């Protein structure tokens, strides 16, 4: 099948590459000439595990191409994926100007039947808006608009794409349903479903999924905070409730709040969408409030420890990315922690395996960056853990005892066993578990 993918951001790039991998011919189009030239030379513009191998292979085998010309990209394509940004407006609603702009352009250049697919996360009713934009210049016989949200996790995007839990396809056209069903067949051979539904339900499915997951995490964060007040252990509570199959074990890990490019944006957009339609999503307003507070919950703990004065204290910071296996720092709790610690006059020495360049460009020399985990702790008065990278899971505690000014850890990701930390004589303050005073 011939496919065009408009937009080579995270979603577009993974989508295009993975469709090429199963034998389709994919042309990706982007307005950024510099980026297109780099991709033509085999440079993947984002960090995502396994993507580079697939990217290189499919370019070499001629199934994956790049261009800046929308016209060239769509000429032979039967399906056109729109994978364009939908950044939040000032008021939190999703900005559709990129998508509607391209829909308008497409309406002027399409000459034979195409399936136009909204891959970006878009509010309910967007498929209708895209249809209207196309129909302004194009006969409705020559296109169908489909909503096909992605459920890719950063760090696992290739795997999630090639072996999805489910594929959601929203369309009221039988013709488009057949085209999309054929395209996705190779990805659901293991028996996971392709769920066909109307466009609006598909659009809402994406927001509902992300908002539900964000709510689940936030609920656990509040339970963890309460555990600290009453002296309960959130790990036990987590296992206790997660064994109920209606609740499930996954996504119950408390921490310093969710971040990333999806959850914060989507929860906000769904809440905003609700208000537009006269529905007040009270639960989402609370989720956003609680998460904002959770991102800095560790700072008052640090201040308490240092009796309110962080001036002249050196804090080692392990982890900057919003989660492991990505260089993405969007809405990362680490940034909130950095801001507050700097305000308090602390010196920060940070290490992250992938995200340091991104943070450097924001903070310059306000933060000291080091090239490995163990250099960060030298002469530190405390260590703060903000991201659960594997490399932080099994540190050399003897080295820490030797190199740090004192054995003090504030762990925002609950990486270590509290009993073990007690035995090692550390002050260890984690989320929702007993405080180990060292």
Active site residues: 262
Site string for ligand UDX, 263-292 (x = CB under 6 A): x-----------------------------
Nearer to ligand UDX, 381 or 411 (CB): 411
Among 152, 380, 384, 404, binds ligand UDX (CB under 6 A): 152
To the nearest whole angstrom, how small is the minimum distance from the Cβ of residue 314 to ligand UDX?
26
Site string for ligand UDX, 112-151 (x = CB under 6 A): --------------------------------------xx
Residues sharing a CB contact under 8 Å with residue 164, sequence separation 6 or more, in sequence order: 151, 187, 188, 192
| Interface stretch with ligand UDX, choices 22-30, 209-217, 404-412, 419-427 (CB under 6 A) | 209-217
Helix %, strand %, coil % of the chain (to 5): 45, 15, 40
To the nearest whole angstrom, how small is the minimum distance from the Cβ of residue 404 to ligand UDX?
26
To the nearest whole angstrom, how small is the minimum distance from the Cβ of residue 156 to ligand UDX?
8
Site string for ligand UDX, 297-336 (x = CB under 6 A): -------------------------xx-------------
Nearer to ligand UDX, 154 or 381 (CB): 154
Rounded to a whole number, what is the distance in angstroms from the first to the last CA of the chain?
A: 63
**Would you say 152 and 127 are in contact if contact means Cβ atoms under 8 Å apart?**
no
Relative to beta strand 194-197, strand 167-170 is: parallel
Instruction: Indicate whether 262 belongs to the interface with ligand UDX (CB under 6 A).
Output: yes
311 is in an annotated binding site: no
CA distance 270 to 7: 23
Number of residues that bind ligand UDX (CB under 6 A): 19
To the nearest whole angstrom, how small is the minimum distance from the Cβ of residue 210 to ligand UDX?
6
67 is in an annotated binding site: no
CA distance 387 to 317: 9
Structure tokens given for 110: 């399409």
Nearer to ligand UDX, 156 or 397 (CB): 156
One DSSP character per residue, 38-80 reads: HHHTT--SS--TTHHHHHHHHHHTTSEEEES-HHHHHTT-SEE
Instruction: Indicate whether 395 belongs to the interface with ligand UDX (CB under 6 A).
Output: no
Q: Which helix (H) or strand (E) holds 436?
A: strand 436-437
Interior/surface letters 231-269, b for 16+ CB within 10 angstroms, e for the rest: ebbbbebbeebbeeeeeeeeebbbbbbbbbbbbbbbbbb
Instruction: Indicate whether 255 belongs to the interface with ligand UDX (CB under 6 A).
Output: yes
To the nearest whole angstrom, how small is the minimum distance from the Cβ of residue 375 to ligand UDX?
25
Closest CA to 18 of 147, 116, 162, 180: 162
Contact positions vs ligand UDX (CB under 6 A) = 150-154, 210, 213, 217, 251-253, 255, 258-260, 262-263, 322-323
Binding-site residues for substrate: 151-154, 206, 251-255, 259, 323
């Amino acid at each position: 099948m011939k496919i065009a993918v408009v937009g080579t951001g995270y979603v577009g790039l993974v989508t295009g590459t993975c469709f090429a991998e199963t034998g389709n011919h994919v042309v990706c189009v982007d307005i950024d000439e510099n980026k297109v030239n780099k991709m033509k030379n085999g440079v993947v513009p984002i960090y995502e595990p396994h993507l580079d191998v697939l990217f290189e292979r499919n370019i070499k085998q001629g199934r994956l191409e790049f261009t800046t010309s929308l016209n060239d990209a769509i000429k032979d394509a039967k399906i056109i994926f729109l994978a364009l940004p939908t950044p939040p407006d000032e008021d939190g609603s999703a900005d559709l100007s990129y998508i509607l702009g391209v829909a308008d352009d497409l309406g002027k250049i399409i000459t034979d039947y195409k399936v136009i697919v909204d891959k970006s996360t878009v509010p309910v009713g967007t498929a209708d808006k895209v249809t209207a934009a196309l129909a302004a210049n194009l006969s409705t016989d020559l296109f169908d608009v489909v909503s096909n949200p992605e459920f890719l996790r950063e760090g696992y995007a290739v795997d999630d794409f090639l072996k999805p839990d489910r594929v959601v396809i929203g369309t009221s056209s039988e013709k488009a349903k057949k085209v999309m069903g054929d395209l996705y067949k190779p990805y659901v051979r293991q028996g996971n479903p392709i769920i066909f539904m109307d466009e609006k339900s598909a659009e809402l499915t994406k927001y509902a999924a992300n908002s539900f997951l964000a709510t689940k995490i936030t609920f656990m964060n509040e339970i963890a905070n309460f555990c600290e007040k009453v002296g309960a252990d959130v790990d036990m509570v987590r296992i206790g409730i997660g064994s109920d199959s209606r609740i499930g074990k996954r996504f119950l890990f408390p921490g310093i709040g969710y971040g990333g490019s999806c959850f914060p944006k989507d929860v906000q957009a769904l809440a905003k969408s609700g208000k537009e339609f006269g529905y007040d999503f009270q639960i989402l307003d609370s989720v956003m409030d609680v998460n904002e507070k959770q991102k800095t919950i560790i700072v008052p703990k640090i201040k308490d420890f240092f009796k309110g004065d962080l001036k002249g204290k050196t804090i080692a910071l392990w982890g900057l990315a919003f989660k492991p296996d990505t260089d993405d720092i969007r809405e990362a709790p680490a940034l909130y922690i950095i801001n507050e610690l700097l305000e308090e006059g602390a010196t920060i020495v940070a290490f992250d395996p992938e995200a340091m360049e991104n943070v450097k460009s924001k903070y310059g020399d306000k933060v000291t960056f080091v090239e490995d985990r163990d250099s960060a702790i030298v002469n530190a008065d405390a260590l703060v853990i903000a991201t659960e990278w594997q490399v932080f899971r099994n540190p050399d505690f003897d080295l820490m005892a030797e190199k740090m000014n004192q054995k003090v850890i504030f762990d925002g990701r609950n990486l270590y066993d509290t009993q073990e930390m007690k035995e090692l004589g550390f002050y260890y303050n984690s989320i929702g578990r007993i405080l180990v005073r060292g």
